Structure 1
Amino acid sequence: MTDHPHQPDASFDGGTLDCGNGLLLLIRRHIDPLGPSQLLEILSAEPTVAEDLPAWCRLTGNELVSQIELSDRRSYLVSKGPFDAGSLRTAATERESMPLTQAILEVKIPASLPRPADAPPVPALAVMGVGSWPRPSWLLRALHQRLEGRLDDTEFAATADDAVRLAVQAQIRAGADVITDGEQRRDNYSSFVGGLLDNCQLVPLTDLLPYVDDPDEFAAELAELDVPASEVRHPAVFGPLGRSRPLAVHEVEFTRQLTDKPIKVSLPGPYLLTRTMWMECISDRAYANREDLARDVVRVLREELHFLLATGASLVQLDEPVLTEVAFGASVNGRSFMCGALGERGSTDDELAFAKGLLQDVVAGLPAERLALHVCRGNWSTDESVALTGDYRPLLPVLADVPIGTLVLEMCTPRAGEQEILRAIPDDRRIGVGVVNQKHARIETVEEVMAKAQGAIDLFGMERVLLNPDCGFATFADNPIATAEVAERKLAAMAEASRRLRGD
């Protein structure tokens, strides 16, 4: 026990790790389960921690309460959040430190697609959400408790099941033809896999600010872009990736119990995950470069895709919004926030070629008619001015060459350009056309939706057109773009427009 003025609630030894080589991941693992104002003791023999740890505390809203010099190391006492000296203290406990490399189960890709369960076909002019649905406040509390290790998986699953029931009921009431589970179990649309894959950990975005060149400047830029950096979590890879448990199969299995309608499930795409997970000084402990990381990303996604299709998902959608960051990032002074915007990138042409190759590898040999690809220009804020602008012209080589049968595209906002550019898409692709803007609280009229849908029908033919919002209603769990009421009313307007266009 050390001679701090207050007794720690938990303690661990970080050895010689510095903040750029895994120490912050260990701190997050130990501090998350603590309650507000509880104290974590960090033992460290690395001199640079004396400078980096106070900066991390300042950026993350935690408090460095005291530090003392020992014979061969230093002891730091950190409060979770602002320190309250009046809080009760418990006996200090040693928590098991997270190893920086763990054994993983081998990923096994089936030689052929297992015999599929009944997967209802998706009809022409089908109405569907992109993926996410606003979460109830009680689910958000449970989600945070689970992320911080204060709620076990069984208790969380029961809470999330109730939220999924509500999301599915709302979509059915609205008249949606294809149902999602609303991504109710996820902290956000992409990084949730970081809490499920082997050797990957979810950390708040603020934990990663010390890795950028100027943390204070970057924090200010995130604030200007209306990014809730303390609430958005980011996957950090500290060892070889593996998939010893499913990513979304359980979501489809539960949703199939609630409806006979076609089910769509979304996964982050391989380029998005690679850009997100490749962080200098973290992932380079496990991978020589991001191409090596990408091979394992493709491997685990291919396995998940096989089992999602076999479980009966009518559409499995790969989300790749960061493609627009590659194409249009310069339109907002070189900085755009997306999951992946922190990661390494090269030239636009090289990045798009890299992304296309990864997508082709992931879906090779799988049924294109049951695969979808979603692209938008950012969905973290209702402020249109902070999102990207640009038509689909630079992305046409990716959209046209990847063997995926449905493209779910942002088209309602003027930032997306004109639909006519999409004439270059092969005739065997269906186009999910954004016909309502989820960023706006105003409910589009049925006539407005019909007009946008009719424009797509004139271009592509009715059999190729599906109807969707521009993006999800709650991409990030803590920062929903719309309320559940607004989301349901927008879907209902889409469903009525589809009914009239079909002549039902």
Structure 2
Amino acid sequence: MTIPSESIGSLPRSPELLGALAAHESGQLGDQAFDAVVSRAVRETIEQQAAIGATVVTDGEQRKPSFVTYPIAGAENLAPDGVVIPFADGHQRQLPCLTSGPFRYQTHAESYLRAARECTSLPVKQAVIAPSALSLLYPSSGIDGYSRENFLEDLVNEAETDIRGCLDAGAHVVQLDFTEGRLSLKLDPSGQVLRDFVELNNRVLARFSESEQARIGVHTCPGGDQDSTHSLDVDYAELLPVLFQHTAGNFYVQLASEADPDRVLRVIADHLRPGARVFVGVTDPIDPRVETAEEVRDRVLRAAQYLPVAQLGTCDDCGFSPFADDQSTSRRTAFAKIRARLEGTALAAEQLGVGFPAARSSQEAHRPAAVE
């Protein structure tokens, strides 16, 4: 028995990559040169994770324009005036709005996974956007000749393809980013929108076998963008019972930034079903202070008082800089927090008398993996 530890997905972009993104968008950098910069950023990101002892890595979402918009970037049937997401510090993010059907992904996450697996033999985790988030693209006024149910059927098909492609390409686990879950309770305190979200996600998950569902996870957090959140003030007790209705095998739950973690852990313990694993957040990506390994250890030990160790894992509360233009956190800080998470989880595992996944040798970790 071990206590696994995983990143959520995104990691800050390097100054070189940020510069290349701007130059490519303005037409000053060609596609081939841009791809070379991105490929180098992915390799360096994976190698840095391996160097500090990660046993499961991600590509840091270096290729994505954002964790939410990657499937639709470049689509021609979108308008910019979609749902607005307000953050606590006053800034906003706005989703695009679908203008006509059919709905189709422009990019599937399998392409990111295959590129990452060429850089390492370590297990690679792939984050994908939950279909519930993309359901927000459909306008409330409807679309002539393309009903909401037609849209949802297309969305379910596309989301299944996105997840299945990653599983078939050898993903260690596929994680659905579900940050809109907690936000939905702010927009609709009745909880109906949240229940609709989970029902939609489960329409997709129902297309997978039990063994495949065991390799699928759902991540929840109150948002993390430019050192601010969109729904930290929403009571977790309203979200978690519904969250755990997802037919997935893993759950990644923000916890380090919660004011009352014991209360949250009690709710998790009451609703975590047998066989599922919950990864609790032990570092806060939007807090500039780097946690110590001892602080992480104590957070893991606290969680172990409420949750079976066999069903426990650790993660960061959220991804680091999930939007490409977010420069609020440096790569140095992000990797220092990840190191603290790994070291602190190992300390807790030792104290609990269980194992911690051993890191492979540097040579083995950097050896390219075979890609199907």
* Residue identity opposite 1:130 in structure 2: I
Moved more, 458-467 or 368-377: 458-467
Q: TM-score, structure 2 length as denominator?
A: 0.84
Residue 6 of structure 2 is matched in structure 1 by: 128
Residue 166 of structure 1 is matched in structure 2 by: 44
* Residue identity opposite 1:287 in structure 2: Y
* Residue identity opposite 2:313 in structure 1: L
Residue 368 of structure 2 is matched in structure 1 by: none
Residue 27 of structure 1 is matched in structure 2 by: none
Whether 2:268 is the aligned partner of 1:407: answer no
Deviations, residues 360-388 of structure 1 (Å, cap 9, x unaligned): 1111142121001011111113246x652
Whether contact under 8 Å (1:473, 1:480) holds in the other structure is: no
Distance 2:257 2:71 in 1: 29
Distance 2:171 2:258 in 1: 32
Q: TM-score, structure 1 length as denominator?
A: 0.63
* Residue identity opposite 2:100 in structure 1: G
Out of 204, 210, 227, the position equivalent to 1:362 is 204
Residue 89 of structure 2 is matched in structure 1 by: 225
Distance 1:223 1:387 in 2: 8
Sort the Cα spacing of 1:327 and 1:450 in 2 relative to 1 into closer, same or farther, 3 A.
Answer: same
Give the length in aligned residue pairs. Answer: 345
Out of 205, 226, 237, the position equivalent to 1:381 is 226
Residue 262 of structure 1 is matched in structure 2 by: 123
Whether 2:15 is the aligned partner of 1:157: answer no
Whether contact under 8 Å (2:72, 2:105) holds in the other structure is: no
Deviations, residues 19-77 of structure 1 (Å, cap 9, x unaligned): xxxxxxxxxxxxxxxxxxxxxxxxxxxxxxxxxxxxxxxxxxxxxxxxxxxxxxxxxxx
3-state secondary structure, aligned to 2:99:
strand
Whether contact under 8 Å (2:73, 2:106) holds in the other structure is: no
3-state secondary structure, aligned to 1:190:
coil
Percent of aligned positions that are identical: 25
3-state secondary structure, aligned to 1:194:
coil
3-state secondary structure, aligned to 1:266:
strand
Residue 194 of structure 1 is matched in structure 2 by: 72
Whether contact under 8 Å (1:256, 1:263) holds in the other structure is: yes
Query: Structure 2 regions of 5+ residues with no counterpart?
Result: 356-372
* Residue identity opposite 1:262 in structure 2: P
Deviations, residues 404-463 of structure 1 (Å, cap 9, x unaligned): 000011001125752111012212210111001111111111111011111222222222
Distance 2:260 2:170 in 1: 32
Whether 2:266 is the aligned partner of 1:420: answer yes
Residue 309 of structure 1 is matched in structure 2 by: 167
Out of 364, 377, 394, the position equivalent to 2:238 is 394
Structure of greater Rg: 1
Whether contact under 8 Å (1:238, 1:285) holds in the other structure is: no
Larger RCO, structures 1/2 (Cα 8 Å, 6+ apart): 2
Distance 1:433 1:321 in 2: 15
3-state secondary structure, aligned to 2:6:
coil
Distance 2:194 2:349 in 1: 37
- Tell me the CA shift for residue 148 of structure 1: 5.5
Distance 2:339 2:145 in 1: 48
3-state secondary structure, aligned to 2:214:
helix
Sort the Cα spacing of 1:347 and 1:453 in 2 relative to 1 into closer, same or farther, 3 A.
Answer: closer
Whether contact under 8 Å (2:252, 2:315) holds in the other structure is: yes
Distance 2:260 2:44 in 1: 32
Query: Structure 1 regions of 5+ residues with no counterpart?
Result: 1-122, 213-217, 330-345
* Residue identity opposite 1:264 in structure 2: K
- Tell me the CA shift for residue 233 of structure 1: 6.8
- Tell me the CA shift for residue 292 of structure 1: 3.3
Matches within 5 A, 1:319-334: 319-329=177-187
3-state secondary structure, aligned to 1:239:
coil
Whether contact under 8 Å (1:177, 1:261) holds in the other structure is: yes
Matches within 5 A, 1:27-426: 124-147=2-25, 151=29, 153-195=31-73, 199-201=76-78, 207-208=80-81, 225-227=89-91, 234-243=95-104, 246-275=107-136, 277-280=137-140, 284-285=143-144, 287-289=146-148, 291-329=149-187, 348-366=190-208, 367-383=212-228, 387-415=231-259, 418-423=264-269, 424-426=271-273
Distance 1:458 1:482 in 2: 32
Measured on the aligned residues, the alpha-carbon RMSD in Å equals 2.7
